[in-house]
Chain A
Amino acid sequence: MNGLTLDDVVLSYPDGDRRLTALDRVSLDVDPGGFTAIAGPSGSGKSSLLAVAATLLRPDSGRVLIAGQDTAALSPRRAAELRRDRIGIVFQQPNLLPSLTALEQLQAVAHLRGDSPKAALPRAAQLLTAVGLTDAQQRRRPHQLSGGERQRVNIARALFTRPAVLLVDEPTSALDRTRGAAVVDLLATVTRDHATATVMVTHDLTLAARADQVLHITDGRLR
Chain B
Amino acid sequence: MFVALRDIRFARGRFALMGAVVTLITMLVAFLYGLTGGLAADASSAVARLPAASIVFGSPQGTALEVSFSNSSIGPAQLTAWQSAPGIGTVAPLGIAMSRLTSQDTAASVSVLGTGAALLPPLVSGRAPAEGQVAVGAKTARADRITVGSRVTVGAQTLTVSGITADRSYGHAASVWTTEPTWQRVSGATAPSALAVQPGSADTAALDRARNTRTVSRGGALAGIDGYSAEQSSLRMIQGFLFVVSALVVGAFFTVWTVQRGTDIAVLKAVGASSGYLVRDALAQALVLLLGGTLTGAAVGVAGGALLSGGGLPFALSGATVAVPVLAMVALGLAGAGLAVRRITSVDPLTALGASR
Contacts and interface: CB of A to CB of B under 8 A. Distances in A.
Interface of A: 42, 46-47, 50-51, 54, 56-57, 77, 80-85, 87, 89, 91-93, 95, 97-100, 104, 107-109, 111-113, 117, 141, 157-158, 161, 169-170, 173
Contacts of A107: 2
B274 A104 contact: no
List of 10 A-B pairs having minimum Cβ-Cβ separation, nearest first: A84-B272, A92-B354, A99-B10, A47-B355, A111-B2, A83-B272, A95-B267, A112-B273, A99-B6, A56-B350
Given A92-B355, A111-B2, A117-B2, A157 B271 contact: yes
Contacts, number: 93
Interface string B273-288: 1100100000000000
A92 B351 CA distance: 11
B2 to A, nearest CB: 4
B353 interface: yes
B356 interface: yes
Given A56-B349, A97-B267, A99-B11, A80 B354 contact: no
B269 interface: yes
Instruction: Give the interface centre of A42, A54, A82 by most chain B CB atoms within 10 Å.
Output: A54
The contact size tier of chain B is 20 to 34
B263 interface: yes
B131 interface: no
Nearest to B269: A80
B268 to A, nearest CB: 7
B313 interface: no
20 contacts: A47-B354, A56-B270, A83-B270, A83-B271, A91-B267, A91-B270, A91-B352, A91-B353, A92-B353, A95-B352, A98-B264, A100-B3, A104-B6, A107-B2, A108-B2, A111-B3, A117-B2, A158-B271, A169-B355, A170-B354
Contacts of B269: 80
Contact of A95 (B7, B11, B263, B277): B263
Given A47-B354, A51-B353, A99 B271 contact: no
B9 interface: yes
A91 B272 contact: no
B354 A112 contact: no
Given A54-B270, A56-B350, A91-B353, 7 more contacts: A77-B274, A80-B272, A91-B267, A97-B267, A104-B6, A109-B272, A141-B10
B274 A57 contact: no
A189 B304 CA distance: 65
A89 B6 contact: no
A64 to B, nearest CB: 15
Given A80-B272, A99-B10, A170-B354, A108 B267 contact: no
A112 B356 contact: no
Interface of B: 2-3, 6-7, 9-11, 263-264, 267-274, 277, 349-350, 352-356
Contacts of A80: 269, 272-274, 349
A93 B270 contact: no
A135 B296 CA distance: 39
Contacts of B268: 97, 108, 112
A112 B280 CA distance: 11
Contacts of B353: 47, 50-51, 54, 56, 89, 91-92, 169
B3 A99 contact: yes
A93 B272 CA distance: 18
A35 B264 CA distance: 28
Given A169-B353, A170-B354, A89 B271 contact: yes
Nearest to B270: A89
A91 B356 contact: no
Contacts of B272: 80-85, 87, 109, 112-113, 161
Contacts of B349: 56, 80
Given A91-B353, A93-B354, A98 B270 contact: no
Instruction: Give the interface centre of B11, B269, B274, B355 by most chain A CB atoms within 10 Å.
Output: B355
A108 B267 CA distance: 12
A167 B350 CA distance: 13
A84 B271 contact: yes
A169 B7 contact: no
A69 to B, nearest CB: 14
Instruction: Give the interface centre of A80, A100, A113, A141 by most chain B CB atoms within 10 Å.
Output: A80
Contact of B3 (A95, A97, A113, A173): A97
A89 B272 CA distance: 10
